[in-house]
Chains A and B, each alone.
Chain A
Amino acid sequence: MSAALVGTRQLVRLALRRDRIILPIWILVLSFLPASTAKLYHELYPTEAARQALISGAGKNPSISVIYGPAFDLSTPGGFASWRYTGVIAVLIGLMAIFTVTRHTRAEEDTGRLELLGSTVVGRYAALTAAVLVSAGTSLVIGLLMAFSSIGAGLPAAGSFAMGLGLTLVGWTFTGVAAVCVQIAEFSRTANGIGSAVLGVTYLLRGAGDSSTDATWLSWLSPIGWAQQVRAFAGERWWVLPMTLVFAVAIGSVGYWLLPRRDVGAGVLPARPGPAVAAPGLRSPFALAWRLQKGTLIGWTSGMLLVGAMFGSLASGMGDLIGDSPQAKEIFQRMGGAQSIVDSFIAGMGGMFGIFAALYAVQAVLRMRTEETAVRVEPLLATNVSRLSWVGSHLVFPIVGPAVILAVGGFGMGLMHGLRVGDVGGQLPGALGGALAQLPAVWVVAGISAVLFGLFPKYAMAAWAPIGLFVLITMFGPAVNLSQAIMDVSPFTHIPKLPAAELTMTPLVWLTGIAVVAVAAGMAGFRRRDIG
């Protein structure tokens, strides 16, 4: 082993030990979804007619393709399972890769621990290599387990491996992307942010490609699109796999190339000096909270404007697309005509924006815990700042921030759609209302996070669990005919699907009530507990 890699093995072992809980969770959650759904296929679609309805209904519905991806062959359990899960698992495996690589490289530099290690006998590339090996290895385990469990569930071996390895390669690609991000960004939060943004863009690119008639090439710009274009269980295109591998190695090499060109602890871009004296406005807990939280909020808001505008410009095409499929046309006409296909697309997108806004809300609440564990709260609370004013000034972000994010997303979508159909005045309110109606559900998520932070700070990170559950329920619940009682667990189930459905105030009011109680409980808990 060359000198630059000395110590890699020990660092891999250290990383595996530190991740001994989180990596098995990723593996368990991601590996067995397709196999378990494949088993359900014949229960869900027992007759030829039911399968035909699936193929010509959901399979041809562009508002569903945006989320799941192109439907190549829904007539077999394998084709169905890979259609349902490839896109979503690709996103999750990508997140796993980004978080894992960052956790063992940039985050270690942030805390100074890597410096400690660097002073021992550890080669220059050891930490990055260890992180890459752990992330790539986990991706491989997930892909192989997925393939074997699918074969075990009776699916053809070729398709099972195409699906599993396609997703492994998505993990490898984002391992490479993360290897670059951690060199560029100066902080782990920024590295995770850039990586997730890249992931989000690749998901959207293929969403745009998969749901359009004339821009399908967009899907080919996305590594997530490639995992789908492997066409598992639908005439595998094996050549896509080596292509993805080459790309993953190429992008990872850029990270290795950048590494020696920067100092430990610094980013590629040199840190700029700040002002010697604070601006007059920097004199309240809120001013500081704004300084700390604004970057994330601005990032989500501008991303949402982009997403909204993109889906807005796609919306009017939905009606045309149905023209090809008489059965789908019939189904949608029964539901109320072409306009309602567009409306239900806009309503569906509003629901997705709600999920995005809730993810932001969790992140904004947990920022408080980061500040606390980094011992940056104590010096503040040792001044004339009360606990309530500190926690209150941060909670503004998970409460008001989602309103901003949703408004901007709904506005972008309504505006672009309105411009394309020449009816901004008529389309904008519906799209905006559909997005903003999500707020009470988002607040419930923020409230749950606040309760964890205020009352059970050691378990604050568990705030990701409820939103994860709600995403699963919302995205997969309808596909597996989940019982209504379970669907009702998610606050998003109760939000009226504007503009396709009528506005009903009752659920909005009681969801808001739950959120208010939860936020208040969280604040009261924080007031009474030990700091640290």
Chain B
Amino acid sequence: MDNAISVNGLHKSFGRTKALDGLDLTVATGEVHGFLGPNGSGKSTTIRVLLGLLRADRGEVTLLGGDPWRDAADLHRRLAYVPGDVNLWPNLSGGEVIDLLGRLRGGLDTKRRDSLIERFDLDPKKKGRTYSKGNRQKVAIIAALASSVELLVLDEPTSGLDPLMEATFQYAISEEIEQGRTVLLSSHILAEVEALCDRVSIIRNGRTVETGTLSELRHLTRTSISAELAGHPNGLSTLDSVHDLHVDGNKVRFDVETHALDDVLRRLSDVGVRSLTSQPPTLEELFLRHYTAEGAVTK
């Protein structure tokens, strides 16, 4: 089985709300896949369908070679899930929840559990409600990481963690990756995705708008250039790859798509460059571009 997850044309509505509108998602076995999208774009809904908690209206969904709706309980032995919003039972301690979830999944490694509790600095004796949001999140993360499973499904797992714990989390996940596990990481923290993921899918309004490796996506980003030229720039406005062009005498300011950088720089140097500053491409920008409705970054 080369694909741990494969989703094709997934549709899901809640009454009148269309949560998923033909979503595609492919996660290869052994890969760490970032699942990005603005709030309400359908990340959690997709994950719930993948876990067999929601029934798809339309579309093909395969998880670990099985049907997540029909074979739910069997497939769940092979995966661990960290929900975005962790609610614990008020009368169970954190340690009890970690053990219970691990056992229900089919067993957990107590050594790894203990070391994770120490690294995440969690007091396992506290009862459900006395934990802060970050600490509830830690309980779910430890419970997921303490079982040895093929697939980790993480829905915004670090919401509520402080920066130190965020680093601990990234380190723990990179250990899992070394073990060859497949990870689906839903997030809206770009730095986290850049640090951990091989490939990403960006979704908006329940539809996949971009998917590829990080370097492929970087290719889709834009570099901001401002330059003072020897003469008047010609023909820049006719290029599709140039955006937000401002011309002021011999001064120009514009954004250029990274793949066209070479071509544009050649045109500039043909005119003669006196000074030039450029801002490096960031995924952030690409990300923002997809987040805003018009597909353009407003600055």
Chain A residues within CB distance 8 Å of chain B = 110, 186-187, 265, 271-279, 282-285, 288, 291-292, 374-376, 378-387, 528-532
Residue of A186, A272, A383, A387 near B104 (CB, 8 A) is A383
Task: Specify which chain B residues have a CB less than 8 angstroms from the CB of A385 in the assembled complex.
Answer: 73, 76, 104
Cross-chain contact A273 with B93 (CB below 8 angstroms): yes
Task: Specify which chain A residues have a CB less than 8 angstroms from the CB of B104 in the assembled complex.
Answer: 283-285, 380, 383-385
A495 CB to closest chain B CB (Å) equals 36
Cross-chain contact B127 with A273 (CB below 8 angstroms): yes
Given A282-B96, A291-B92, A531 and B87 touching (CB < 8 A)? no
User: In whole angstroms, how far apart are the Cα atoms of A385 and B81 in the complex?
Assistant: 13
User: In whole angstroms, how far apart are the Cα atoms of A374 and B265 in the complex?
Assistant: 57
- From 58 to 104 in chain B, residues with beta carbon under 8 angstroms from any chain A beta carbon are 72-74, 76-77, 79-81, 83, 85-93, 95-96, 98-101, 103-104
User: In whole angstroms, how far apart are the Cα atoms of A274 and B86 in the complex?
Assistant: 19
Cross-chain contact B72 with A530 (CB below 8 angstroms): no
B45 CB to closest chain A CB (Å) equals 10
Cross-chain contact A276 with B95 (CB below 8 angstroms): yes
Task: Specify which chain B residues have a CB less than 8 angstroms from the CB of A274 in the assembled complex.
Answer: 91-93, 95-96, 125-127
- With A277-B124, A382-B79, A532-B53 given, can you name 15 additional A-B contacts, CB distance below 8 Å? A271-B130, A273-B127, A277-B99, A278-B96, A285-B104, A292-B89, A292-B91, A376-B87, A376-B89, A381-B51, A382-B81, A385-B104, A530-B55, A531-B48, A532-B48
Residue-by-residue, is B122-164 near A (CB-CB < 8 Å gives 1, otherwise 0)?
A: 0011110110000000001000000000000100000000000
Interface of chain B: mostly helix, strand, loop or mixed: mixed
User: In whole angstroms, how far apart are the Cα atoms of A61 and B285 in the complex?
Assistant: 83
Number of B interface residues in the complex (CB < 8 A)? 42
Q: Which of A276, A277, A285, A380 has the most CB of B within 10 A?
A: A276
Q: Which of A110, A291, A528 has the most CB of B within 10 A?
A: A291
Task: Specify which chain B residues have a CB less than 8 angstroms from the CB of A187 in the assembled complex.
Answer: 90, 129
Given A278-B96, A291-B92, A532-B48, A378 and B53 touching (CB < 8 A)? yes
B79 CB to closest chain A CB (Å) equals 8
Task: Specify which chain B residues have a CB less than 8 angstroms from the CB of A384 in the assembled complex.
Answer: 73-74, 76-77, 104-106
Chain B residues within CB distance 8 Å of chain A = 48, 51-55, 72-74, 76-77, 79-81, 83, 85-93, 95-96, 98-101, 103-106, 124-127, 129-130, 140, 153
Supply 15 A–B pairs (Cβ within 8 Å), ascending by A: A110-B129, A274-B91, A274-B93, A274-B95, A274-B96, A275-B125, A277-B96, A283-B100, A292-B91, A378-B48, A382-B81, A383-B106, A385-B73, A530-B55, A531-B48
User: In whole angstroms, how far apart are the Cα atoms of A279 and B95 in the complex?
Assistant: 10
Cross-chain contact A288 with B100 (CB below 8 angstroms): yes
User: In whole angstroms, how far apart are the Cα atoms of A296 and B96 in the complex?
Assistant: 21
User: In whole angstroms, how far apart are the Cα atoms of A283 and B106 in the complex?
Assistant: 9
Residue of B85, B92, B98, B126 near A375 (CB, 8 A) is B85
A265 CB to closest chain B CB (Å) equals 7
User: In whole angstroms, how far apart are the Cα atoms of A274 and B124 in the complex?
Assistant: 8
A334 CB to closest chain B CB (Å) equals 55
B48 CB to closest chain A CB (Å) equals 7
Minimum CB distance partner of A380 in chain B: B104
Task: Specify which chain B residues have a CB less than 8 angstroms from the CB of A282 in the assembled complex.
Answer: 96, 99-100, 103
Cross-chain contact B53 with A531 (CB below 8 angstroms): yes
Task: Specify which chain A residues have a CB less than 8 angstroms from the CB of B83 in the assembled complex.
Answer: 375, 378-379, 382
Residue of A186, A273, A382 near B51 (CB, 8 A) is A382
User: In whole angstroms, how far apart are the Cα atoms of A272 and B126 in the complex?
Assistant: 8
Cross-chain contact B95 with A381 (CB below 8 angstroms): no
Minimum CB distance partner of A283 in chain B: B103
User: In whole angstroms, how far apart are the Cα atoms of A375 and B81 in the complex?
Assistant: 13
Residue of A278, A376, A380 near B99 (CB, 8 A) is A278
Residue of A276, A284, A380 near B125 (CB, 8 A) is A276
Task: Specify which chain A residues have a CB less than 8 angstroms from the CB of B106 in the assembled complex.
Answer: 383-384
Task: Specify which chain A residues have a CB less than 8 angstroms from the CB of B127 in the assembled complex.
Answer: 271-274
Residue of B55, B88, B98, B129 near A265 (CB, 8 A) is B129
